[in-house]
Amino acid sequence: METRNCLQFLTSLSLTLLCYLLHFSAADFTPADNYLLNCGSTTTNASFYNRVFHADGSSTTKSDSLSTTTGSISLKNPNPSQDSPALYNTARVFTGGGDSIYRFHIRRNGTHLVRFHFSPFVSQDFNLNSAKFSVFVGEFLVLGDFSTQVVVVKEFVVKVEIDVLEIMFRPVNGSGFGFVNAIEVFSAPNDFIIDDGARFITASGATEEYTNLSSRVLEVIHRINVGGLNLTPFNDTLWRTWIPDEDFLVFKYTAKRVVTTDTPNYQKGGSTREIAPDNVYMTAQEMNRENATIGARFNITWDFPVVSGGARHLVRLHFCDIVSSSLYQLYFNVYINDYSAYKNLDLSTMTIRPMLSSPWYIDFVVDSDDSGVMRISVGPSDWSTPLKMNAILNGVEIMKMVHVTGSKTGKKKKRVWILVVSVVGGFIILCLAVLVVLLSFKCKKKKPKPRPAESVG
């Protein structure tokens, strides 16, 4: 009798827990693959914007490792500053002149986000400011001869279609060394990069369809919340950082900030909360028509620094009509590098149901010119009536395409440090196993609803 009561109690407890988990995963994006490593730490899990980064040298994460040899060192910052997050107070240093490889088991093929956190500090044996190294993600050289004197996060978008993703660190030459403070590898939503609909703006200014966008490796260069505030990983569905646009405006007086308090109407055919969070679509810059001296027709123009000389970029522009009082009033043109990119853009017709405040985005593929900037302008269309003349922009992302290199093959197999990371924390597996057992007891009486497999694993 006693055990039966206990079982009933446990069953209801686990059901409550499962409901909570399911509710939680419905409200928030839960990546199928989700690796967060606190590099150079042997014991400490570090919390960073509410996410726990696991020690890359701990016994739990090493439980699946193939082998560990010399060639890497766990380094602790001897003099951490008070506002420095714990995640940045340790680093793994790659020495020995050889390659060091992290291996990640991939549970679901598709686009992944890969972030590297670098926070150089000085210890007795190493000055991380003088590190110089290259980083490969799979076959792609993503950082070549990299060094940094400031805290920086490098983010890449990579399509992964292999069982094990290898991330390799290679010091620049025999005497050099490399380092990293933290690594994130996690699944992006399915529709994060799609192959349909990207427009390639050629050197002659013509637009044509760009195919195979999803198979390109992309490096995030700019992520801008136009008309808005700084957004931290706290405020973003995929833990991204967005910065305001003001510093990129060519003529500040041409633009006027707009802010709404209404949450966006996400719709089929438009954007999603994972493509960009609410905050991006709830602010914009519009034409500042209050200044009589600049006339009625003018563009708002932003210049974003990029590498010059033909580097190929993905330019993703985010729009949401938070300025109109009714549909079919706002028509405007979009220009990239002074070429027409989209004429007579009518946000009212972009999603399945015509509705104001419906987020929408569009991808352009553009080669950089020799100016060293990506110039983006929005301005009035010929369709606008004089009273309703306006143009808006809510968000900008600029990503550089990384090209395939052959340099990874034929590498010397010297001292390779290998770390295989376990798929999920053992604790979670244990919990779910217990839940499954308890549920199967319950199932004999009452059939539960089918559960989405991906949130359980």
Residues found near ligand NAG in the complex (CB under 6 A): 43, 45, 54, 60, 106-109, 161-163, 172-176, 211-212, 215, 229, 231-232, 234-235, 253, 279, 291, 293-294, 297-299, 335, 338, 377, 379, 425, 427
Closer by beta carbon to ligand NAG, 11 or else 237: 237
Backbone angles phi, psi at 50, to 5 degrees: 70, 10
Closer by beta carbon to ligand NAG, 342 or else 351: 342
Spatial separation of the C-alpha atoms in residues 90 and 104, rounded to whole Å? 21
- Closest approach, Cβ 30 to ligand NAG, in A, equals 16
Among 105, 115, 113, 116, CA closest to 63? 105
Closer by beta carbon to ligand NAG, 267 or else 377: 377
Q: Which two tokens stand for residue 268?
A: 């089929």
Decide: 324 and 346 in contact? Cβ < 8 Å.
Answer: no
Among 242, 240, 237, 238, CA closest to 225? 242
- Closest approach, Cβ 441 to ligand NAG, in A, equals 27
- Closest approach, Cβ 428 to ligand NAG, in A, equals 7
- Closest approach, Cβ 259 to ligand NAG, in A, equals 10
Give the angle subtended at the CA of 92 by the CAs of 91 and 97, to the nearest 5°.
Answer: 135
Q: Which two tokens stand for residue 442?
A: 């319950």
77: left (phi over 0), alpha (psi -120 to 50) or beta: beta
Closer by beta carbon to ligand NAG, 298 or else 417: 298
CB-nearest residue to ligand NAG = 425
333: enclosing H helix or E strand: strand 332-336
Closer by beta carbon to ligand NAG, 291 or else 371: 291
- Closest approach, Cβ 457 to ligand NAG, in A, equals 12
Closer by beta carbon to ligand NAG, 294 or else 431: 294
Closer by beta carbon to ligand NAG, 80 or else 425: 425
Closer by beta carbon to ligand NAG, 11 or else 214: 214
Among 142, 155, 214, CA closest to 186? 155
Q: The tokens 């994460």 sit on which residue? A: 61
- Closest approach, Cβ 447 to ligand NAG, in A, equals 29
- Closest approach, Cβ 172 to ligand NAG, in A, equals 6
SS3 224: strand
Beta-bridge mates of residue 101: 168, 418
Spatial separation of the C-alpha atoms in residues 139 and 136, rounded to whole Å? 7
Determine how β-strand 360-367 pairs with β-strand 199-201. Answer: parallel
- Closest approach, Cβ 9 to ligand NAG, in A, equals 26
